[in-house]
Structure 1
Amino acid sequence: MIPVVDPFSITEDPKMPFLAKAINPAEARDKLEQYLLHPACGNHNVYLHAIRVIRYKPARRCMIEYDLEICSPQPEKVTVIGKVQAQGPRRSTYYVLNSLYNAGFGQDSQDGICVPETAGIIPEFNMLLQRKVSGDTATRLLIEPGGTALSRRIARAAHKLHRADIPVKRRHTMVDELRILHERLSIVARMMPDRAERLERILDSCDQIGAATPKPELCGIHRDFYPDQVIADGSHLYLIDFDLYCEGDPGLDIGNFLGHLIELSLRTFNDPDALSDRTEAMEEEFVALSGEHTRASVRAYSVLTLVRHIYLSTQFPERRNFTEPLLELCEQRLARCIPKL
């Protein structure tokens, strides 16, 4: 009997009816045998031992872990992650991961900066497969002793990613970033009409910061770079989740990461500056590698990311107590850039 752990009841999702097959042991085993990329794979070479649903957003996406044993001269136990998208597997993500893996981000990378190895696509499940990597997320490790050294490693990893510059058609600009902010904060204003005027002033300041940020030299960027997207395992540092990879401002990745780190510091220590040695080390390391001209966009996107967290704080019950502190923090940070706020 193959155990299936599904704490989200994903089989009841009418928008993704194929999820029921994805966690049916017999159907999952058949498709893994058919599509899994592995030198030893062929008929009856893949044995399924467990299925776990680990993340789920109704009608949009899901992540499923499969514990496997692959028969080769030496049996190998492997866990693969199946990333399911309602609209279908993102073949562009598969292309980016494969391109990076073959461009110096493989498991044998000399600097230890890697991406997970792709393991195939199961079209019937709208699923992209990749090997699960071991280690802890930077979210946990950055708040521990040694976090400053890790922050410098992450800055070097981002710079390496930008230099790889895997070409893609999608582009994300400051105009796009500001549009998203206006959309998200308008939702907050409707939820909290007593804060609408403050939110409007914040958005006005964001527009001014966006207009004042120098135009960048575009390159391939992660675009969703924050501590949960980095996994550290000894000498290896893995960058994960490239669904939003696009052409954009390299300062966005580090700015976004710093904004998340400041917000994490506020929630964890009730002090946005508690991890300032980490944020300062990351900014300085990245600017030293990428050039002083990137500092302005790093700082701009850091503030804009904090502003976006005002919206994010309203989407999670455990974060709603931080909406007002985030509002105050954003007003303070924006005031440093725009004195009239």
Structure 2
Amino acid sequence: MPQNDALIARDPGLPGLALLLDRSALEAGLGAPIAALGSLRYKPGTSCTRAVRLADGRHLWLKALTRDRHGQVLARGQDLAPQALRDRHVVAQSPAADRDIPGLKRLWPEQSRPAELARLLGDHPLSRAVLHPLSHRPTRRLVARLDAGGTRAFLKAYTRKAHAQALSGILLAATLGHGRVLAACAERGLIVSDWIDGRSLCPANDAALDPHAFRQAGAALATAHRAGLRTPFQATRFDAVRRLRALAKDIGRLLPEQRARANDLAERLVAALASVPEQYGLIHGDFSADQILVGAEDAITIIDWDRAAMGDQGSDLGSALARLEVQRLWHGLPEAAAKTATEALLAGYGDVRPLPASWSAQETAHLFLLLGEAFRHQLPDWPARTCALLDRVEAGLRTAPAPQVDPELPQLATLLDPQGAAQALAAHQSPTVVAPPKLRRHKPGRRALIDVTARDAAGDATDYLIKTRAKRADHATPAYHAALRAAGFTETGAGAFAVPEAWPGPPRLRAWSMRKVPGRTLTACLHPKAPVAPFRQAGRALAALHACHVEGVPRWTPEAEWDVLARALDHAANAHPGDAEALAGLRRAARIALDRVPKRPDVLLHRDFYPDQLLVEESRLWMIDLDLLAMGDRHVDVGNFLAHLDEQGLRDHGAVQVFDDHARAFLAGYQEAGTLDMASVRVLRDVSLARHLHICDRIASRKPCYPKLLAELSRWFDPGGAMGRAPHPACAMSVPRPGAAARTRAG
């Protein structure tokens, strides 16, 4: 198809890509007519995958590969492709070959299916059912219908990772009256659930739509949202940010001429979401009209709770409304019908509880997340459809209401105006702000961060960040930046560490600015299997900071460290009275442990040093957020960094030891230039980790981590009042020195 010619030309490493994008050519290569084509999953330069159902009923999944990968698959002997496909490095496999979904191996071929269903369902009549595949998303999920003498059920096969969340969601749906689980197997990733009869509200099935049904659906969603049910799975704002940025990258690969625009819109959406509060609670995770069935007596059932999680409930409404808008833009749904359905859904929700503040911003964000659908489904003229949706996202951002005025930050409205932003930058130059400033982060009543692009007199464009806060103007932090840059922390300095240029702003705006620097946060590099070299470099950077001297910084004393911990434990005790005894034990043990930390000469502390405060740009680390600089014990910074690794491991992977290799690398990097007392590191690491008990309560998405963190801390501290835990592995083991063998992953 002509619409794909440019894409195919840019990816010569996948000679089979053209086949998977052309139905007629694919039918010719397969030597059989195709009844249905699945959506595409495309990884430029690596692979393109698509499921097909042939007219004779066979199900296959096709994958276009590079020459080397194709040879590896052929060597395994699982390829069913005719020679015409093999010549183009395309493999064809049955669902049984989908190794990511373990349950499919025994459901194909058909002769092994009865035994597998009997093992799964026991004496249930469905154990003798006929299986009718409905959809297969290779490496993700297969959905099928089971039929046995008039009895029906859904059978879904998942990856092992997705199975746990899907089962949790379906069980929650059963609690809400939206179906029930008949059987499940975690080892195989299989779930069998009730077949639910009803009329789908998908606009493709009923162009006229039914306002009454949509109003009932809105009420049903609101009822689920206010039920107070919980799941351990999380859908955080950080997840949304990652999805938006990843989608922008995908659009840039599909339509390179739209790359800059997609990236810009993604960042504006990040700011838009940051400017509205989230209504935290149980969410469906993929809510749309497709997931709503109208049954007997107009009863509403919400199906497909596979992605149920704790998150911003405004995202469910935003997801549904975005899908309706795409039906209007791409599939001819009349504008009046889309408007009526939208109003009815919102009204029904409002009948039960107030609308989440974020629903409108979430609608625009979900429109953006649908940008790849026209390509994935190979809709006619998909590039034009994608651009039309980009236009719609841009219009949604233009018409979005301005962020609510923050009475504690009255200067915010001024700084979000181009002229006001230019005033904040005036100490550096006399710039012209070339686009509306974007609110990147906003903590109501406390502070805000604003993105600005400005041109200088020579016409050169530069990106800046403006920081403003409710307290008095911050003149100290720009001075700290200047002092550290004078000490060599520059992009042209001898070291591999730098801090951005920064300038004070007018006192009346309580703002200062800094040059925006490239890179991704060190947190983005934090994965159990990721290289640890950046963390070793972070240790070197911290040691270099500790060796500097900056005039006028305050002193951070052991008593100040204790006061912060004591307040955090007080907050935790008030929020969790049932844990009062355990928290009191932690308090006693921490007090004793801190008193035993030897007094040492002060060094320059960052005071909030953790992976989010470091940006990785190739071989350079940028250090940011220097407003808490102080003189104090070097082990405060080291312990704080390690505690953040512990908490991240516990929150994301269920164990504090997950990032031990990264911790060892960090300590090794520090000790290349500085000395550490490991006993003091352990104490201050534990003290910092204990502060996270209160952070778990302050941040809604971290609440599920509180009991796990308390259990870990209770094991480490002796409630009787002594430091009773064994040394943390990353602190207790010998730290590798430069040139020595180390049990860490290579960077």
Provide closer, same or farther for how the CA distance between residues 209 and 309 of structure 1 changes in structure 2, counting only shifts above 3 A: same
Q: Tell me the SS of whatever aligns to 1:130.
A: strand
- TM-score in terms of structure 1 length: 0.90
Q: Whole-Å Cα distance in 2 between the matches of residues 148 and 315 of structure 1?
A: 30
Paired position in structure 2 for 1:305: 688
Q: Give the deviation of 1:256 after TM superposition.
A: 0.3
- Of the candidates 483, 492, 507, which is equivalent to residue 99 of structure 1? 483
Q: Give the deviation of 1:165 after TM superposition.
A: 2.2
Paired position in structure 1 for 2:605: 221
Is the 1:115–1:240 Cα contact (8 Å) retained in structure 2?
A: yes
Q: One-letter code of the match for 2:421?
A: A
Q: One-letter code of the match for 1:299?
A: R
2:446 matched to 1:60? yes
Q: Whole-Å Cα distance in 1 between the matches of residues 474 and 556 of structure 2?
A: 18
Q: Whole-Å Cα distance in 2 between the matches of residues 144 and 274 of structure 1?
A: 6
Q: One-letter code of the match for 1:82?
A: I
Paired position in structure 1 for 2:678: 295
Q: Whole-Å Cα distance in 1 between the matches of residues 551 and 530 of structure 2?
A: 35
Is the 1:152–1:282 Cα contact (8 Å) retained in structure 2?
A: yes
Q: One-letter code of the match for 2:435?
A: H
What does the per-residue CA deviation read over 1:1-42, in whole Å, with 9 as the maximum and x for residues that have no partner?
A: xx986534655111221111111223333x156x141xxx44
Q: Tell me the SS of whatever aligns to 2:621.
A: strand
What does the per-residue CA deviation read over 1:106-148, in whole Å, with 9 as the maximum and x for residues that have no partner?
A: 1212222000111442323110100111111011113265542
2:614 matched to 1:230? yes
Is the 1:283–1:298 Cα contact (8 Å) retained in structure 2?
A: no
Q: Whole-Å Cα distance in 1 between the matches of residues 514 and 553 of structure 2?
A: 23
- Of the candidates 478, 485, 510, which is equivalent to residue 126 of structure 1? 510
Paired position in structure 2 for 1:321: 704
Provide closer, same or farther for how the CA distance between residues 334 and 201 of structure 1 changes in structure 2, counting only shifts above 3 A: same
Paired position in structure 1 for 2:663: 279
Q: One-letter code of the match for 2:696?
A: S
Is the 1:11–1:19 Cα contact (8 Å) retained in structure 2?
A: no
Paired position in structure 1 for 2:547: 163
Q: One-letter code of the match for 1:191?
A: A
What does the per-residue CA deviation read over 1:227-282, in whole Å, with 9 as the maximum and x for residues that have no partner?
A: 10011010110110011111111111111000001101111111211111111221
Q: Give the deviation of 1:168 after TM superposition.
A: 2.6
Task: Kindly report which structure 2 residues correspond to 1:202-281, keeping only aligned pairs within 5 A, or say none.
Answer: 202-281=586-665
Q: One-letter code of the match for 1:55?
A: R
Q: Tell me the SS of whatever aligns to 2:673.
A: helix
Q: One-letter code of the match for 1:178?
A: W
2:503 matched to 1:110? no
Q: One-letter code of the match for 2:414?
A: K
2:466 matched to 1:78? no
Task: Kindly report which structure 2 residues correspond to 1:186-201, keeping only aligned pairs within 5 A, or say none.
Answer: 186-201=570-585
Task: Kindly report which structure 2 residues correspond to 1:173-188, keeping only aligned pairs within 5 A, or say none.
Answer: 173-188=557-572
Is the 2:643–2:686 Cα contact (8 Å) retained in structure 1?
A: yes
Provide closer, same or farther for how the CA distance between residues 285 and 25 of structure 1 changes in structure 2, counting only shifts above 3 A: closer
Paired position in structure 1 for 2:723: 338
Is the 2:475–2:504 Cα contact (8 Å) retained in structure 1?
A: no
- Of the candidates 405, 411, 420, which is equivalent to residue 18 of structure 1? 411
Report which stretch shifted further, 309-318 or 144-153: 144-153
Q: Whole-Å Cα distance in 2 between the matches of residues 27 and 91 of structure 1?
A: 19
Q: One-letter code of the match for 1:53?
A: L
Is the 2:538–2:669 Cα contact (8 Å) retained in structure 1?
A: no
- Alignment RMSD: 2.2
Provide closer, same or farther for how the CA distance between residues 339 and 291 of structure 1 changes in structure 2, counting only shifts above 3 A: same
Q: Tell me the SS of whatever aligns to 1:306.
A: helix
Q: What is the total number of aligned residue pairs between the two structures?
A: 329
Q: Tell me the SS of whatever aligns to 2:463.
A: strand
Paired position in structure 2 for 1:87: 471
Q: Tell me the SS of whatever aligns to 1:275.
A: helix
Q: Tell me the SS of whatever aligns to 1:104.
A: coil
Q: Whole-Å Cα distance in 2 between the matches of residues 131 and 234 of structure 1?
A: 18
Is the 1:80–1:132 Cα contact (8 Å) retained in structure 2?
A: yes
Q: One-letter code of the match for 1:14?
A: P
- TM-score in terms of structure 2 length: 0.42
Q: Tell me the SS of whatever aligns to 2:442.
A: strand
What does the per-residue CA deviation read over 1:283-310, in whole Å, with 9 as the maximum and x for residues that have no partner?
A: 2332342224x33322221111110011
Paired position in structure 2 for 1:46: 432
Q: Tell me the SS of whatever aligns to 2:500.
A: coil
Provide closer, same or farther for how the CA distance between residues 302 and 50 of structure 1 changes in structure 2, counting only shifts above 3 A: same
Q: One-letter code of the match for 2:460?
A: E
Is the 2:424–2:505 Cα contact (8 Å) retained in structure 1?
A: no
Q: Whole-Å Cα distance in 2 between the matches of residues 146 and 257 of structure 1?
A: 18
Provide closer, same or farther for how the CA distance between residues 165 and 333 of structure 1 changes in structure 2, counting only shifts above 3 A: farther
Q: Whole-Å Cα distance in 1 between the matches of residues 500 and 464 of structure 2?
A: 10
- Of the candidates 508, 522, 538, which is equivalent to residue 138 of structure 1? 522
Is the 1:262–1:273 Cα contact (8 Å) retained in structure 2?
A: yes
Provide closer, same or farther for how the CA distance between residues 255 and 26 of structure 1 changes in structure 2, counting only shifts above 3 A: same
Report which stretch shifted further, 294-303 or 283-292: 283-292
Q: Tell me the SS of whatever aligns to 1:289.
A: coil
Provide closer, same or farther for how the CA distance between residues 281 and 28 of structure 1 changes in structure 2, counting only shifts above 3 A: closer
Q: Whole-Å Cα distance in 2 between the matches of residues 145 and 321 of structure 1?
A: 25
Is the 1:167–1:220 Cα contact (8 Å) retained in structure 2?
A: no
Q: One-letter code of the match for 2:629?
A: Y
- Of the candidates 432, 455, 458, which is equivalent to residue 69 of structure 1? 455
Which runs of 5 or more residues in structure 1 are unaligned? Answer: none
Report which stretch shifted further, 193-202 or 20-29: 20-29
Q: Give the deviation of 1:340 after TM superposition.
A: 8.7
What does the per-residue CA deviation read over 1:148-204, in whole Å, with 9 as the maximum and x for residues that have no partner?
A: 211110000000001012133411122111111111111111111000110000011
Q: One-letter code of the match for 1:324?
A: P
Is the 1:68–1:77 Cα contact (8 Å) retained in structure 2?
A: yes
Is the 1:66–1:81 Cα contact (8 Å) retained in structure 2?
A: yes
Q: One-letter code of the match for 1:167?
A: E
Q: Tell me the SS of whatever aligns to 1:164.
A: coil
Q: One-letter code of the match for 1:308?
A: R
